[in-house]
A and B are shown apart, each in its own frame.
Chain A
Amino acid sequence: MKRTFPLILVFIFGIIGIITFIIPHPIVQNLDESIRNDILKILVAFALVLGLGSLLKVHMDKIKRKRENWKYSWILIISFLVSSIIGLFGGVEGAGPLRTSIGSFHFDIQTLYENIFMPLGATMFALLAFYMASASYRAFRARSYEATLLLITAFIIMIGIIPLGEKISPHLPSFAQWIMTVPNVAGQRGILLGVALGIIATSLKIILGIERSWLGGGE
């Protein structure tokens, strides 16, 4: 029961998912639509709440047990609470019951997003430019025939897509474009076809109950 019933559910919903593609009849399509709009959409809301809960739990635990760097968890929890209160009661546009401005100073959720979330997220990934530079210098080696081919292609592309390429020769950008649309497509497609077969294999295994790792441990 504890394993069989979920496996039966996966099978039933899996088959429904497959046949909606080929059976246009309203009986199937309406069922499909209500599964999506009335069940899955609501389930995902719960899953999101659950994910949030476990994030907070991890950090509460960290504080309680005074793990390494536990003090920073306070920052996470406080900033989370403050921004949720502003968002929930201040509303999407700052028009909710909670006032989100003092004079010309606004602190509605969109302002927090644009001035805290945005710069932090963007800068974190801007670090990668530096890592790329130092890796270029210290790690990317033409250590084999394959790696050499890879690097040469990369050089052609890197020069072909900047305006300098056009100045060196008008054929260079066209050549870079050709690499992208012809040999690159062939190589990527070879990989894609294999990946797609892999997805089909995994999906069928799950639907038919051969692959059960999603059940997790326990009986």
Chain B
Amino acid sequence: MNISPDPWVWIAALLSLAIFSFLYKENPFYRIAEHLFIGVANGYAVTFYWHNILMPTLFDPLFRQGKLLYIIPFIIGILYFTRFIPRISWLVRIPIGITIGYYVGVSVPATTQAFIIKQIQGTVLTSTNFQAWNAGSWGIVWSVIVFIGVLCSLSYFYFSKEHKGVLGVTSRIGIVFVMIGFGAAFGYTVMARISLLIGRLQFLLGDWLGIIQ
């Protein structure tokens, strides 16, 4: 045992315990910790809004370097606050419109390429894809399984026809692949959750109580 003398470690440890107390039931310690969390998180964010964003990208160019064109984005940005003034609150749609428009626009070709075309490329049956598995002649088998799996699970999410006949068969095969995927996600999520607990215990038993080095 080698308990930490650092007051900060004690604060961190006690706060952790306050959160863990939620397991018993919701209580004032948990609520204090929760509100403290949001308060400090936002205080931290403000620090970097100022030092990393507002200063170098807005105030510096506008006020110190005198780039007066920055007045335009500045005014558009101010429009966000019109939402509190009912008579002109529609003006808030201008900055929102610009932002949404651009993001939605760039997302269309990016989504098409990364999540459709590239995925088709990885699924097509060709010798290049067979070799990409690094699995010798098994590569052909793996590719065929992926190919069938993709087509069938796609057919499960096809809503224009009842799942009867051929579509009935493929959608039933499809759901098998989908469930294997969810099973894999399930197994990995269990690992993730236990990892978080281990991480906290490493801190409490190590940094705080000094039981593990």
Contacts and interface: CB of A to CB of B under 8 A. Distances in A.
Do chains A and B directly touch (beta carbons under 8 Å) in the complex? yes
Interface of A: 2-3, 5-7, 9-18, 20-22, 35-50, 52, 55, 69, 72-73, 75-84, 86-88, 91-92, 105, 109, 111-132, 136, 146-147, 149-158, 161, 178-197, 199-200, 202-204, 206-207, 214-216, 218-219
Given A45-B77, A187-B177, A154 B183 contact: yes
B152 to A, nearest CB: 7
Interface residues of B, number: 111
Contacts of A202: 104
Contacts of A122: 16, 196, 199-200, 203
B103 A196 contact: no
Given A46-B80, A153-B184, A186 B50 contact: no
7 contacts: A6-B90, A45-B77, A115-B9, A119-B16, A132-B193, A180-B184, A189-B153
B94 A88 contact: no
Given A157-B187, A206-B100, A186 B196 contact: no
Contact of B44 (A117, A123, A147, A156): A117
Given A190-B174, A206-B104, A75 B42 contact: no
Given A113-B44, A183-B181, A6 B96 contact: yes
B115 A192 contact: yes
Interface in B1-29: 7-9, 11-13, 15-16, 19-20, 22-23
Given A92-B51, A196-B115, A105 B7 contact: yes
Given A184-B184, A207-B101, A218 B40 contact: no
B49 A48 contact: yes
A153 B34 CA distance: 37
Contacts of A156: 183, 187
A116 B69 CA distance: 41
Nearest to A198: B111
A38 B178 contact: no
Contacts of B147: 186
Given A83-B40, A196-B115, A127 B19 contact: yes
B104 A207 contact: yes
Given A43-B77, A157-B184, A157-B188, A191 B157 contact: yes
B186 A118 contact: no
Contacts of B194: 129, 132
Given A39-B98, A83-B46, A126-B19, 20 more contacts: A7-B97, A9-B101, A17-B105, A17-B108, A20-B106, A43-B95, A45-B58, A47-B80, A52-B49, A76-B35, A91-B51, A114-B12, A120-B37, A127-B23, A136-B190, A150-B180, A153-B182, A157-B187, A184-B184, A216-B93
Contacts of A73: 35
A200 B193 contact: no
Q: What is the interface of chain B mostly: helix, strand, loop, or mixed?
A: helix
Contacts of A151: 183, 186
A123 B16 contact: yes
A202 B103 CA distance: 12
Interface in B96-124: 96-112, 115-116, 119, 122-123
Interface string B79-92: 01101000001100
A69 B40 contact: no
Contacts of A77: 39
Given A9-B94, A42-B73, A194 B157 contact: yes
A117 B183 contact: no
B43 A81 contact: yes
A44 B47 CA distance: 16
Contact of A187 (B32, B46, B153, B200): B153
Contacts of B191: 158, 161
Interface string B151-190: 0111011000000000000000011111111111011111
B193 A42 contact: no
B80 A149 contact: no
A128 B193 contact: yes
